Amino acid sequence: MNKNALLLFAAFAASSLTLAAQSSGWPPAPGHLTLPVWPGVAPGAPANPPVEADTTSAKDNLIAGRPLVRLGNVSVPTLTLYKAKGKNTGPAVVVFPGGGYSILAIDLEGTEVCDWLNAAGINCVLLKYRVPGTGPYPKSAAALQDAQRALGLVREHAAEWGIDPRRVGVLGFSAGAHLAAALSTHYDQRLYDPIDAADKLSCRPDFAVIVYPGYLALQDKNFAANPEINPTADTPPTFIVQAEDDPVHVENAVVYFLALKNAKVPAELHIYAQGGHGYGLRRTALPVTTWPASVETWLRTIKILPAQ
């Protein structure tokens, strides 16, 4: 390739990246590696999808006195790497923001979570998965396809990113918590045709953190366990937290914990009296917002983090 052709290719690549950033309703902050989840279009992707955008309006509620980004119309899923700060202890957590499979609370339950994990010496990989109408599985397989592919990609790049491939976990909020539970119980078979080497690697999480989950207990069936989420002895160790006054219903946490217990999966359940739903990591006067410290203690207990 001659010099002019190289310059033309570089200009095209730069313009493509710029257009990609402009087309996103949430471009990641500079300095963070972002990869597409799929090398081409995602499985079953519709033609001419709506433009990705922040759907937050002036009428939307604040969390701990601050607004949040409600990212909608995500049709091009991505992974964004947030490297551990200070000492990299080796593990990685793939984060699934919530939003009812309609939007993604991409900062409240995404970038802010990565900041906390990085400060604890943990690498964070933020998954911008497809919404709306992409779950809960099996209503749609799209979000779970994105999650399965994401775990394989993280393990494929583990050496390059300074990650221990045997310490890759997931952390999800609300619908993202359901996605974390779905991946914890649907990792043995890909829901799409394998594409490359990443799809030959395990997409089983090594641990899971489930924060104010939905869709795990069926309200219209007297909060019976969701039959699509069936823990086995091979389901990863799991930490669950929810508030009793959560309008999404605390039974989601309780029912899933009992299913894990019956499958003899190591699990830890934290139920708080007050807290509601959708607080992320933003601290309030309520004890439920201290849950990240409990997660760090649990990660040391299960040997993901080194003892202090």
Q: What is the pLDDT of residues 20-73, one digit of tens each?
A: 444 578 889 899 999 999 999 999 999 999 999 999 998 888 999 999 999 999
The proportion of the chain whose per-residue pLDDT surpasses 90, expressed as a percent, equals 86
pLDDT of residue 5 exceeding 60, the answer is no
- Judge contact between 104 and 110, C-beta under 8 A: yes
Q: How confident is the model over 245-290, as pLDDT tens digits?
A: 999 999 999 999 999 999 999 999 999 999 999 999 999 999 999 9
Angle formed by the axes of helices 175-185 and 142-156, nearest 10°: 70
pLDDT of residue 133 exceeding 60, the answer is yes
**What is the token pair recorded at 206?**
């090594």
Res. 299 pLDDT band, cuts 50 70 90:
very high
pLDDT for 59: 86
One-letter amino acid of 17: L
**What is the token pair recorded at 72?**
């909608």
Q: How confident is the model over 185-211, as pLDDT tens digits?
A: 999 999 999 999 999 999 999 999 999
Report how far residue 24's alpha carbon sits from residue 301's, in angstroms, rounded to the nearest whole number: 39
Structural domains for the chain = 62-301 (3.40.50.1820)
What share of residues in the chain are helix, strand, coil (percent, to 5)?
30, 20, 50
User: Would you say the pTM of this structure is higher than 0.85?
Assistant: yes
> What is each CA distance from 275 to 84, 126, 141, 210, 249, in whole angstroms?
29, 25, 31, 15, 12
